[in-house]
Structure 1
Amino acid sequence: MRWIVLILTFSLFLSCKNGKSEYIDTQSFTKKKIISTHLIPDEHFLGDEACASCHKAQFKDWKGSHHDKAMQVANDTTVLGNFNNTVYKSQGITSRFFKKEGGYYVNTEGRDGMYHDFKIEYTFGVEPLQQYIVKFPDGHYQCLRTAWDTEKEEWFDLYPDFKVVHSEWLHWSRGGLNWNNMCADCHSTNVRKNYDLENHAYNTKYALINVSCETCHGPGKTHVDNVTTLGDRYKPKGDLKMTFATSPKTLVDECARCHARREQYSEFYNFEGTFLDHYFPQLIANGLYHPDGQILDEVYVYGSFLQSKMYQNNVTCTNCHNPHSLELKFQGNLLCAQCHEPKTYDVPTHHFHQEGSEGAKCINCHMSGKTYMGNDYRRDHSFRIPRPDLSLKYGTPNACTQCHTDKDDEWALANYKKSHGTPKNKHFSELLAPALTGDVHGFEKLLELSKDTIYPEIARASAVRAMPNYLDETVVENMLAFLDDDSPLVRGATIDAFSDINSGDYINYFLPLLRDEKRTVRVKAFLAIASLNEFQLPEAYREIYKEVKKEFETHLDVTSDFSGGRAKKALYFLKQGDVENAIKWYEKALEIDSMNNMIRTNLANLYYRNKAILKAEEAFKTIIQQEPNFAQTYYSYALLLAEQNRTDEAITQMKLAIKHMPDNVRFYYNLSLLYDKVGKLKNAEDIAVKGLKLDPNNEGLLYVMAYVFQKQGNFDKARNTASKLVELYPRNPQYRRFLQQLNTSR
C-alpha cells in the first residue's frame, strides 16, 4: 500500500474527559533557552585546506572518506559509472548513459512522461553505490533512480520491484528523490534550502559542497583567528564543536542531525542548541521499526543506538569509528574486545560457533542488519541479544534465522534454550511490542515502560506515543503526567499523542510547554493550543506565545515543500476553525503528492463538512481507484452515502469494506444498521451475528442485535441480549431502560 509516512498525526479519536479550566505551571518549564536564528555567513567556513596545515593526520584520514565524497561536481575524476553509451532497462523505462561535449548525460523519462537528455551535474556518494544528480530549471536538483553499483560495476534500479509513474511523488524527478529537501542538509555544509512556495522552486545555497571538517566542528574562522592571534598561548575556548572534550552523549546528539530520520524545525542548522532544537526524530512505530525496535524502514542509526545499553553506558560513536576516516577502529571481534573481555565473550562457550567463523563474530549476533537502496547493507545499532521467543510472539526478526535462512524461529528458540537457557533479560520491547501488534491489553505494559526511567528514553517516548490506541479517561490521566517528564523526547511525544484526541479539554496543560527548553517541544505545544489566539491566553503567556509563534511559522515554512508540512498547516487552520484555509492547504499538499491518500481522506471529510458533497465523493472515488484494497475508504464513503440517504449504495460500499478488512467489527455494526434502515431485518441480524463471532461482547453489536430482535417481535432473544448488555455495561442507564421496556412487552 503506497501510503507515505507523514510527519504529523491527524485527529482520530474523541475525548472522553471532562474539560478543566485551571491553568497549570511548573518550575521545570520556566527555563526556555533562547537559541538564535542567525545565519552563519559562508565566509566563516574556510574550507578543508585551512585545517590541513595544523591537523595533518586528521585531514589525511578524512581525505577520500565517504564524508569527503558525499557530493562532488561530476567530471572525469569523480564519475564512477559507465557512461559509454550504455543502456539500462527497468520497470518499462529505458535509460541511456552517454557523454556529450565533455559532460555526462542520461536520456530517460522526465516529469512529463516523455524522454529527454539530462546533464549530470553532481555525483552523490562513492560506495557501495554512486548516485547522479540532475538540475531542473526551477532549481530542483534530482537524484536519478538508476544508480551505479561500485562493487559489481553495473547499473541498477534502487527500487526494482516498485513501479512508479512520472506524476507520482516517488518518481525520480519529483519530491521522493529531490536533493534540495531530502539530501542537501546532510551532504553539504551550511545549507540553506531557500524554497519558494509560490513557484515551488528552489535557490539552495551552501558554503562547502561536501561533508567537510567544518560540517562537524563548526565554522573555522573564529578558531583560526584565535590560533593566529595567540599562537602557542592558544587554549581551546569552545570555538569548535565535536572535540575531545565533548561528552559521549553530547557527541551522539551532534552526530544525530545527519544520522537520524527526523523532521526539521529550524530554518537551518547554526551549531546552536542541541539536536532537539533543530530536529525531532521518528520514534519506534509500525512501518518504521519492527515492533521490538529493530530497524525496518530507512531510519539510519540514531533511533536504534538510543535503544542500546551502549548508549546508556556512555559508549559513543568514536569509540568504534575513526571520526575522520569513518572506518572501524579495529577489525573483527577486536573492536568489541575494547570493553568486553575476550576470555569471556570471544569463546565458543559464549557464541557457540566455530572459532573464526561468521557465526563467531559479535556483530553477526548482536548487530544484524538490512540492505537499503538496493545494495547498501546497514547494521542495526541497538546492540541486542537475539530473541527468537519474541519473533514467535510478534513476528520480529532475529539474528539466528537471518543467518540460518533454512531454519525457522521454532528451531532458533530450541537451540537458544540449549545454549543459553530460557531468555531471562526483560527487554523494553516486551512492553512495547504488544501494543504495536494490536494487543487489546497492551496499555498496562505501555504505562510500565513509559514510567520506568531504567528504559531508553526513545522507548519510553514511543510507549506514550502509542497510548491513544487505548483511549479512555484513565489513559488520558496517565498521559498528562508525561507532559512534565524530565525527557524532552517524552514531552514532545506526549504532545503528539494528544494530537490524536479531537478535543480542546487539555489545552491548558500545554501552556507551560511554550517555555520548554527545547524548540521542538515548544513548537509542538504551540500547534496543540492552536485553537486559542494570543488574547485568549492568560497575560503571563502572551509574550512567550508570540515568540513561539515565530518558531512555529518557521517550522511550517521549512517543511512547506513536503506534503506533510502543508498538511500540518491545514491542521493548524482547522484547529483555528478556518475550514476554507484548511481545505486550501490539504489541496496544496496533494499538488506535491497526489498519491497521499491519508491527506486526501482528511480533505474528503472536510469537503463533506463544508457541504461540498460532490467533491467529497470524488475524493473517495479517487482513493478507491488508487488503492482499491484499502478498506477504510469504503467505510468512510459508505458513511457519506448513508447520510445522503443513498442507503443501497452505502450498503454496497460497506460490504466492500468488510471484504477488504473482514476483522473490523465496526464495519459489521454499521452494515447491520444500514440493513435495518432499509427494512432488511434478517440481513441485519446475520451481519450482527458475524460481527459478534469476532467480538462476542461488543457493545454496539449487542445493542443492534437486541434492537433488531425487538423489531422482529422476538422479545425473548431481545431480552436475553439486553440483559447481557446490562450485565457487561451496568453504568449505562440507556441499556437498563431498554431492558425495562422489553420486560413490559411480555
Structure 2
Amino acid sequence: MRLDRTKRRHAIILAASLISACLMPFAAPLFPAHAEMASAAAAAANGAEEIGTGGIGVLSTDAPAGFAGSSACATCHPAETRAWLTSQHAHAMSLAGPKTVLGDFNDKRIEHKGSSARFFRDGERFMVETIGADGKTAIFAISDTFGIDPLQQYLVTFPDGRRQALPFAYDTRPAKDGGQRWFFLYPNETITASDPLHWTGALQNWNFMCAECHSTALRKNYDAATDRFETHFSEISVGCEACHGPARGHIDWAKGPRDPQIAHKGFASVAAVRPKPDWTVDPATGSPAHGTTRPAGDEVETCARCHSRRGILSENWHPGQALTDTHLPSLLSEGLFEADGQMKDEVFNDQAFKQSLMYARGVVCSDCHEPHSAQLRAPGSAVCGQCHDPARFATTHHSGHSPGANAPDCIACHMPKRTYMVIDERHDHSFRIPRPDLSMQLGTPNACNDCHRDKPASWAADAVTRWHGHEREGVRKGFQTWATAFAAARHGAPEAREALIRLAKTPSVPAIARATAVSELQAFPSIATEAAIRAALADPDPLVRISAIQGQEGQPLATRWQRLSPLLADPVLAVRIEAASQLAEQPMDGLTEAERSRLEAAFRDYESAQRLNADRAEGRANLGMFMLKRGNPAGAEAEFLAGLKVHPGSPLLSVNLTDLYRQQGREAEAQKVLHQAIETFPDAAAAHHALGLALIRARQYSKAVAEMQSASRLAPDHPRYAYVYVVALQSLGRAEESAAALADALRRMPNDASLLTLALNAALQSGDIKTARSHAQTLGLLRPDDSEIARIKAELH
C-alpha cells in the first residue's frame, strides 16, 4: 500500500483509536491478469504446470488445522482451478524465482530524490542493493514477489520475521503502454532511512499492512516480548480456502459416500445465499423493476474482508460472517472519501459499493465478476447490459453523446476511475449519476469533467440541464443524497445538524452513510443530536451501532452503563469491543453475576484485539489507555514504554505517556518524552501541543506559546489547538496577537463553536454589538437583539 505525506501524518501523529485509525492492507483490484501468466496458465493441462510455481496452490507445512491447499481442489474442480490460475488472486504473492519475478534484474539502477537501488542477479537469487535501516548501503535478497498487474512489488525477509516492501516497483504493462520499467512509488517524497515511510519501517511492513489479503489463512504471530514475527499462512497467495474456508472436511465428504445430511458438504460454514433475484427489465425504465433481500454474511462480506478499508480485530474469520465480526470498516470519512461518497484515498471497493442502489437491490460481486478468474462476466459495459437495456441507455438522449467508438460508456460515466500507486487505475463502485452541479457547489469531482478537463463544472452542469431539464428530482439525481450534509459537517456549519439527523434516522439511506452521519453528529451537540445518536444504538446495522456507541463518550458512566451494557451481548464482535472501550471505567462491584460475566468477556475481546495489533503504536496506545481506565497505571506505563521501544518517538504513545506522567506529577519526565517525540517527528502537532501545556504548568510561558503556535500551524484544521493558542495569548495580555490568531483560525474554521464563542466574548467586551450578534446567530443562540446580547454578556461574565 502506498501512503502519501498527508496519510503518513495521520498514521503517525493523530492520537486516534486503533479501530478507527489503523492502516489498512493493500488488496489487489480485480483487473485482467498479466498476459504472460494468463497464457501460461491457459496452456497448462488442468493448470498442473502452474500449480506449485512460486508456491502457488501448495499447502504450507505450518498451515492451520483443516486447510488443504488449492492443489487439493484441482482434481474435482479443474475448470475453476484453471480460471483461478489466470486471476490476480493466484499471483497476489509468490516466492521469488525465474517464473514469478517479472522485473528486470539485469543490473538495473534507479534513483529518486536521494533514494537509489540496484537490481541484479546472484545466480538463481534476485538481489537489491539499497539503503538499509541504518542509512548505509547494503545488499538484500528478494524473498517474494507481490502482485502482478499493472505493477509488481518485491519483499525482503529479515531475521526477525519481518517482510518489508521495497519502494521501487516494476511496471509490468507492455512497453507501448509505458511499462517495462522500474519506478518509485512515492514520486513526490524524499524518504531517508529515519523516515517512518522508509522501506524498512512499520509503514512498509508486510506482516501487518499486506499479508492478510495477499495470503491464505494468515496468522501474524507477533511476539510482543521479543518484537519478532513468526507469521504463518496455509498458502502463499490468495487460494480457494481464502474465500471458502478450510476444505479438509469438504474433501473428506467428497471422497464418499457424500452424505447429503452433512451440512455444507463438509465445509464448516458457507456464505449466506440470497433469494433468487428477478432482474427482469422494466420497459418504462430500462432497468430491473425488482430487487431482492440481502441476508447477513453474504458473498459481499466475503469479498469485503479484503476489498475494503478496514482494521483487523480478529483472525478467526470464516464464510458467512458479517465483516464487523472480525474487522472494523472505515466510514465515509474526510480524507478517504469525497463529501458525496466518491472514493478519494485508496479505499478499494466495499464502502463505495455499499453506497450504491445496486447493493440496496441485492446485487452481489459475482453478478459482474466471475469469482474464480475475477474477469468481468461480459466485456466492458456489456456487463451492465446483463440487467440494463442497452437500447435505452446507449443513446444520445441518455448520455448527451452520439453513439460511436469514442462515446463514453456506462463505466466511464458511472464508475469513474482514479489512479493509485502511480499507475494503478481503479473504478469507483458506487455506480453514481454524474453531478457536475455538486462540483460547482461543493468542489467534488464528476465524471463529465474527468474527460472534459478543459471545461469548468458549470459547463458540464449546463449540458446536463439541456439534456434532462431543470427539474431532476429523485432517481434522476442519484441514489446518494448526503453530499451537502457531509460537506456542511466537514466545515462545521450549524445547518449540518438537522441534515445529519435526517440521514441517521432514514432507514432507506445506506448503512455506511447512516453510520457516517451518526459519527459526524458528535461534533454538533444538542438535545436532538443526543436523541438521534441514542436511537442509533438499536440500528439493525452493526456499523451504525458502533458509531452510536462512540457517540456516548463524554456521558456520565452511569448513563453509559445504562445505554451500552445491553450491547455487551451483541452478536457482532466489533460492537462488543466498542462497548467495552466505552465502559472501561466500570467497576465490577454491584454488578450481577451475569452482568459481570458479559463485561469481563467484552474486556477480554477488547484486549485480544489490541494484542493482535501490539506490533503497532496504535495497539500499544489502546492497551495502555484501557489499563489506565481500569485503574492499572503501572500496566499502562509498561505498555507505553514497550511501544516506544519498538516505535521510538511515536507521538501517539508519547502524548499518552506524558498525560500519565502529568497525573503522577512527573513533569520533568513528561517534557523529556515530548522533546524526544518532536526530535523524531518535528511535524507532530499533538506532541507540540502537549509540550506547550507541560511548559504552561512549568510556568515557562514564552516557550509554551511558541509550542502552541507550532501545533496550530502544523494542524491548521484542528480547532482545539487554535483555541488553546488564542487563549494562551489572551492570558499573557498579548491582545493584538490573540485577535490576529483568532481571526486567522476563524478564516480556516468559520463555524467552530469554541472559536466563535471566543470571538463572541471578545466582541461583547469591546462593545461591538454587530459582530457579537453575527457570532451569536451562527452559534444558534436565540434572536440576539441588544437585550439578549446583554444577557449573554452577563452569563459569560
**TM bucket normalised to smaller:** 0.7 to 0.9
* 2-structure distance, mates of 1:718, 1:640: 37
Q: Is this contact kept in 2: 1:267–1:554, CA < 8 A?
A: no
- Is 1:388–2:436 an aligned residue pair? yes
1:448 aligns to what?
502
2:198 aligns to what?
171
Q: Is this contact kept in 1: 2:726–2:741, CA < 8 A?
A: yes
Aligned match for 1:703, one of 722, 741, 761? 761
Q: Is this contact kept in 2: 1:106–1:120, CA < 8 A?
A: yes
* 2-structure distance, mates of 1:554, 1:166: 33
Once the two structures are superposed, the pairs formed by residues 304-323 of structure 1 within 5 Å of their partners are 304-323=352-371
Aligned match for 1:572, one of 626, 634, 652? 626
Mean Cα displacement is larger for which, 580-589 or 223-232?
A: 580-589
2:48 aligns to what?
none
Aligned match for 1:368, one of 397, 406, 416? 416
Once the two structures are superposed, the pairs formed by residues 704-723 of structure 1 within 5 Å of their partners are 704=762
Aligned match for 2:385, one of 321, 334, 337? 337
Q: Is this contact kept in 1: 2:84–2:373, CA < 8 A?
A: yes
What does the per-residue CA deviation read over 1:531-562, in whole Å, with 9 as the maximum and x for residues that have no partner?
Answer: 11433534331122232232222211111112
2:231 aligns to what?
204
- Is 1:239–2:298 an aligned residue pair? no
Once the two structures are superposed, the pairs formed by residues 30-429 of structure 1 within 5 Å of their partners are 42=64, 44-151=66-173, 152-230=179-257, 237=264, 239-240=266-267, 245=273, 250-271=298-319, 273-422=321-470, 423-424=472-473, 425=477, 427-429=480-482
What TM-score, normalized to structure 1? Answer: 0.85
Q: RMSD value over aligned CA atoms?
A: 3.7
The one-letter amino acid paired with 2:513 is: A
* 2-structure distance, mates of 1:721, 1:149: 59
Question: 1:92 Cα deviation (Å)?
Answer: 0.7
1:33 aligns to what?
none
* 2-structure distance, mates of 1:305, 1:383: 8
Identity of aligned residues (%): 33
Mean Cα displacement is larger for which, 490-499 or 230-239?
A: 230-239
Q: Is this contact kept in 2: 1:189–1:214, CA < 8 A?
A: yes
Q: Would the alpha carbon gap of residues 239 and 446 (structure 1) be closer, same or farther in structure 2, given more than 3 Å must change?
A: farther
Matched residue SS, 1:126: coil
Q: Is this contact kept in 1: 2:684–2:714, CA < 8 A?
A: yes
* 2-structure distance, mates of 1:194, 1:658: 40
* 1-structure distance, mates of 2:783, 2:692: 30
1:522 aligns to what?
576
Q: Would the alpha carbon gap of residues 606 and 600 (structure 1) be closer, same or farther in structure 2, given more than 3 Å must change?
A: same
Q: Would the alpha carbon gap of residues 680 and 557 (structure 1) be closer, same or farther in structure 2, given more than 3 Å must change?
A: closer
* 1-structure distance, mates of 2:795, 2:311: 56
- Is 1:541–2:599 an aligned residue pair? no
1:36 aligns to what?
none
* 2-structure distance, mates of 1:280, 1:80: 35
The one-letter amino acid paired with 1:469 is: A
* 2-structure distance, mates of 1:232, 1:680: 84
* 2-structure distance, mates of 1:237, 1:96: 51
* 1-structure distance, mates of 2:723, 2:132: 48
What does the per-residue CA deviation read over 1:166-211, in whole Å, with 9 as the maximum and x for residues that have no partner?
Answer: 2333221122121111112111111111110111110011111221
1:19 aligns to what?
none
Question: 1:234 Cα deviation (Å)?
Answer: 8.7
- Is 1:438–2:492 an aligned residue pair? yes
The one-letter amino acid paired with 1:428 is: T
* 2-structure distance, mates of 1:261, 1:123: 23
Mean Cα displacement is larger for which, 231-240 or 109-118?
A: 231-240
Question: 1:283 Cα deviation (Å)?
Answer: 0.9
Matched residue SS, 1:335: helix
Question: 1:324 Cα deviation (Å)?
Answer: 0.7
Matched residue SS, 1:80: coil
Mean Cα displacement is larger for which, 558-567 or 693-702?
A: 693-702
- Segments of structure 2 that go 5 or more residues without pairing to the other structure are 1-5, 19-61, 174-178, 276-293
Q: Would the alpha carbon gap of residues 120 and 480 (structure 1) be closer, same or farther in structure 2, given more than 3 Å must change?
A: same
2:282 aligns to what?
none
Matched residue SS, 2:264: coil
Q: Is this contact kept in 2: 1:43–1:207, CA < 8 A?
A: no
1:487 aligns to what?
541
Q: Give the count of matched residue pairs.
A: 706
The one-letter amino acid paired with 2:195 is: E
Q: Is this contact kept in 2: 1:394–1:433, CA < 8 A?
A: yes
Q: Is this contact kept in 1: 2:649–2:676, CA < 8 A?
A: no
* 2-structure distance, mates of 1:77, 1:489: 43
Q: Would the alpha carbon gap of residues 254 and 449 (structure 1) be closer, same or farther in structure 2, given more than 3 Å must change?
A: same
The one-letter amino acid paired with 2:248 is: K
Mean Cα displacement is larger for which, 267-276 or 124-133?
A: 267-276
Once the two structures are superposed, the pairs formed by residues 662-677 of structure 1 within 5 Å of their partners are 674=728, 677=731
Question: 1:319 Cα deviation (Å)?
Answer: 0.7
Question: 1:432 Cα deviation (Å)?
Answer: 2.7
- Segments of structure 1 that go 5 or more residues without pairing to the other structure are 12-39, 710-715
Q: Would the alpha carbon gap of residues 724 and 332 (structure 1) be closer, same or farther in structure 2, given more than 3 Å must change?
A: closer
What TM-score, normalized to structure 2? Answer: 0.80
1:510 aligns to what?
564
Question: 1:568 Cα deviation (Å)?
Answer: 1.4
* 1-structure distance, mates of 2:259, 2:17: 59
The one-letter amino acid paired with 1:325 is: S
- Is 1:554–2:581 an aligned residue pair? no
Q: Would the alpha carbon gap of residues 610 and 705 (structure 1) be closer, same or farther in structure 2, given more than 3 Å must change?
A: farther
Matched residue SS, 2:449: helix
Q: Is this contact kept in 2: 1:91–1:163, CA < 8 A?
A: yes
Mean Cα displacement is larger for which, 470-479 or 673-682?
A: 673-682
Matched residue SS, 1:44: coil
Matched residue SS, 1:94: strand
* 1-structure distance, mates of 2:760, 2:376: 62
Question: 1:235 Cα deviation (Å)?
Answer: 8.3
Mean Cα displacement is larger for which, 691-700 or 228-237?
A: 691-700
Matched residue SS, 1:438: coil
2:45 aligns to what?
none
1:585 aligns to what?
639
Mean Cα displacement is larger for which, 134-143 or 211-220?
A: 211-220
The one-letter amino acid paired with 2:562 is: N
* 2-structure distance, mates of 1:658, 1:180: 35
Question: 1:135 Cα deviation (Å)?
Answer: 0.7
Q: Would the alpha carbon gap of residues 496 and 642 (structure 1) be closer, same or farther in structure 2, given more than 3 Å must change?
A: same
Question: 1:473 Cα deviation (Å)?
Answer: 4.4
Question: 1:218 Cα deviation (Å)?
Answer: 1.9
Report 1 or 2 for greater relative contact order, CA contacts < 8 Å, sequence distance ≥ 6: 1
Q: Is this contact kept in 2: 1:9–1:500, CA < 8 A?
A: no
* 1-structure distance, mates of 2:322, 2:742: 55
* 2-structure distance, mates of 1:556, 1:632: 22
* 2-structure distance, mates of 1:381, 1:593: 37
